[in-house]
Every structure is written in C-alpha cells, then in structure tokens.
Copies of this chain bind each other. A is one copy, B any other.
C-alpha cells in the first residue's frame, strides 16, 4: 500500500454500483467519468505552464506512492483521479507544456482530442472494410485529403478522379512500422527478382541510408532480417548540411552491385531528428532507380511543413519514390498515434502482408472493391485513427494548418535571431523548419571546454523546470536542440526561454563581451 490517503471507505456513500449488476459502459457513468476527465484536462492545460517541464523524480518513485498489489474491490472513479493528480502528474514530463523544447513537440488540438475520444468510445476494430466500413473509408478519405494538402502525385492516392487508383495509404502507429512494412515488401521483391530460393538470398540484400537517419530505421532493417553487415550508413558532413550526398550513395550502391550484392532499399529523410537535415529526394530516387531499389521517404516531422507552398520543394522528386510516410502526431496537431504511409503500388505491400483467415472472409473483401487495411500493416486489429485526422482537417482547414506551421517557424526564426545576436553562441547548422541547433561557442578553439559548458547549460536549464531542451551531436560537437512548436506555446515562451538560456550561460561562462 502506498502512502497516498485514498481510503475507499471515505467515498463509499457515493458509490452504489455494488448492489447492481456491473455495467461497465453504463451511459450515465460514462458521461460522469468523462466530465471529470474533461475538467482534469481543462485544469491541466490551464496550469501546465507552471509545472516543472521535466520532473525531479527518482527511478521507482511511483512504486513508493501507489499500492503494489491490484485492489480486490472497486473504488469510486474519484480515487483514480485523485491518485492521478497527486502521484502521476508530479512525475510526468510535460510534453504539453509551452516550455517544452525537447525532441520534436507532440502537437495536438481540440479537434484531434475530441476525435480520439469518440473513436475510443466507438472502439471499432477496422481490420477489414466490412468490420468497419465508415472507419476504413474515412481513413482513406483523410489520407487522400492530406495527400492533396501535400500535393503528392495522384499515384499515391486511394481515389483519383478516374476512380480507385493503384496507390494508396494507411494510418499506422509510428514511422518505424511504415519503414518495417515497406522494408519487408522491398525485401520480398528483391528476393524474387534475384531468384532466391526462399529467403536464402537475404544475405545478399543491402539497404542504405545517411548516417543522420533515425536509429529506428537501422532497427527496422534488423527486424526484417537484413544482415547487419549489409546495412549501409552513408557518412554525411557539413558540405551537404548533413543531408545524404547522392553521388556517395550511388558509389556505395554500385560497389555493392559490382560485388554481387542486391541493392534493395534506400531511406531518405526530410527533416532528420538530429538537426533537420534534408536528403535530396529526387537525386536519391535517380540513384536507386539504377538498381530497382525501393525508395522510402521518412518525412515524419517535416512532412507537415510541406502543406505550405514555401516548404513543398523539399518533396520535389517524390513522384519517383515508392513510398513516403509522415506523422501528423508530430507537427499536424493530431494526438498520438498517427503516421500516414503512402505507397505508389499498394499491391507490392499487400503481396507481402496479406492474410486471409476463414473467420475474416466476406463478400466485400472477395469483390476486390474494397481496401482491407489489415493488409498494409503489421497487425490485424486497428484503432479508428482516421477520425481524429479527418476532424483536424475538417475543422481547421488548410488555412489554419498552414498558419500553425508558419507561426512555429516564425517563432523558431525569432529564437535563431536571438542566438545570432549574442556572440557567445553559434547556430550550428542552417535552420530548415522549427528546430534551432545551437551551442555556446568554443573560446580559443577549446572544444572540450565548450562541450563541458554546453552540457552544463543543458543540465542547469532542465533542472530549473522552466524549460526542457534535448541535445544531439553534430560533426562531433555537442549541440543543444531548441524545438519550437508545443501547441500551447507562444512567442513570449520562446523569449522567456532565451532569457533563461542567456542568464544561465552567464553563470557558466560569463557575460557577452
């Protein structure tokens, strides 16, 4: 038993359910519990700014507060809410805080949360079209809407003016899953075309990505059975702002092909996690085409920016790739989880992922007129994620969504200008979107001292609870990442964070000269 005072007896008078049959979805209870949850959410958003962004708790803290054994009898919902407030909230890292500048923000909106709530109440499992026709069709529609906002070629759309296309999309949980399922499809295609007996030829298949590519790509390759020795991480440098150099890619692919290996898959990133580097999609696609390798574009974060014409050029050449994924749960105001995967030829995906057990057979699937989304993902069960994504676009429209992106980029630009205005600092790589990578400049070329100062700056900042920044290493240098865009953030939060950074830096290295 933990130390919180949550004696059920104190609430017993308000809880009479024990005398009746247990009705877990009684509509009055649902409404009552949800109203309590809504009040919590309202209070949370009103107060989160004042909470320490990064909590000062020690590992195991929660086990000391909550009981270690499950309760045997029921308790009023208020007890769970009380323990949430008193034990859980103080140990949260507040991603919703306007003072959160770490990683990438998980943006959110009123429309998305409401859509998610309704989806979790309907609780459909849309593995086949028949199992939830509207859920499947709304997902497909939302994907096509988003494809239009991104000005993707119609070859990636489920429906075109001419009817059902050969391309299409699916909403998955994470980018990792998008990578995994396309890797598997590419793997199987490469095995077939290289005349492999079963998977025997897998040892000859090779995959490629820049060294800045998210670590989850290299993990997904291992999950799909690629040989660790055949997973190529192409070095990048300041000369390409840490983007993939297509000439180097071509060279490595050609060397592999010359050695009898089978170049199978290239992952290009638009907006790397470390520094927002952008790989040149078109040139990558041209290199890969020489070897019939699959090209996937990971635009998890920065893809959202491409709904604005001024950023769309980062997707130039996308008409020549095989698949692209981006995550509205990162920067398009849609709460977790929501990763949109588009493929140019859905049959290449379903060929590797289709299952057809007896208990899921139905006329609609057999007609070939419908999409069964289970055949484009790892699992069978799936939530109704299309609803929240559709509600976001339906309610805010392209205009507000573009405004949201531009506002974040403008705030990042403001921060960048502030950094550039203080000689103690340097911006380490060009700012592409709403991430500023900066550091305290080395004095007299002392890199080790600079690293120490920057680490100390980050730790001191994060300990204040007034800001949370993460770091990365770029070109061997320890760098602070300032990611703008948490959905409650306004310019004054960015300016306050900068004041805190300046003051803390003064404590560490002294005043600007």
Contacts and interface: CB of A to CB of B under 8 A. Distances in A.
A125 B103 contact: yes
Contacts of A432: none
A512 B116 CA distance: 48
A485 to B, nearest CB: 11
Given A113-B33, A114-B33, A134-B89, A336 B381 contact: yes
Given A57-B133, A95-B122, A359 B103 contact: yes
Copies in the complex: 2
Given A95-B123, A120-B336, 19 more contacts: A22-B396, A22-B403, A33-B110, A33-B113, A41-B118, A55-B133, A59-B364, A59-B367, A61-B137, A74-B395, A77-B110, A108-B121, A123-B335, A199-B203, A199-B225, A216-B380, A223-B223, A336-B381, A361-B471
Interface stretch (A80-88, A246-254, A283-291): A80-88
A71 B393 contact: yes
A122 B92 contact: yes
Interface string A92-133: 111110000011001111111111111011111100011111
B30 A45 contact: yes
A203 to B, nearest CB: 5
B199 A70 contact: no
A174 interface: yes
A176 B123 contact: no
A281 B423 CA distance: 67
B177 A70 contact: no
B229 A198 contact: yes
A324 interface: no
Interface in A199-226: 199-200, 202-203, 214-216, 218-220, 222-226
B472 A124 contact: no
A506 to B, nearest CB: 25
A401 to B, nearest CB: 9
A75 interface: yes
Given A113-B34, A124-B106, A22 B95 contact: no
Given A24-B487, A62-B141, A88-B134, A397 B111 contact: no
Contacts of A395: 74-77, 79-80
Contact of A114 (B77, B83, B115): B77
B123 A108 contact: yes
Contacts of A227: 198-200
Contacts of A258: none
A261 interface: no
A98 to B, nearest CB: 9
A488 B359 contact: no
